[in-house]
Amino acid sequence: MIRVEKGTCDIKTSEGVPGLMADLAVIVRTLKKTLTEKCDQSEAEAKEVINRAVELGLVTDAELELEALKVVGEFLTMLMNNSSL
């Protein structure tokens, strides 16, 4: 069982890797369905979102911090370019 709540993940299995793989596959399929049916994403867009989430999930803490700093920098640049000051 994989459960995510308030930004933390709890993983329990008595079925080992096959059980975890099955749970993860169900999560991915449900996420893709939600993105396409409720968020008006195309299947290709949904796959991009899922692939990006997987990429971020596999990075090291240092890589994740660097990615966050890039996003903050882009956001600040956007604010400065749109500022009326």
Q: What is the pLDDT of residue 83?
A: 65
Q: What is the pLDDT of residue 38?
A: 96
Q: Which residue has the higher pLDDT, 3 or 45?
A: 45
Which distant-in-sequence residues (6+ apart) come within 8 Å of 11 by Cβ? 1, 2, 3, 20
| Integer Cα distance of 26 and 46 in angstroms | 15
pTM confidence score: 0.68
pLDDT at 2 over 60: yes
Q: What is the pLDDT of residue 11?
A: 87
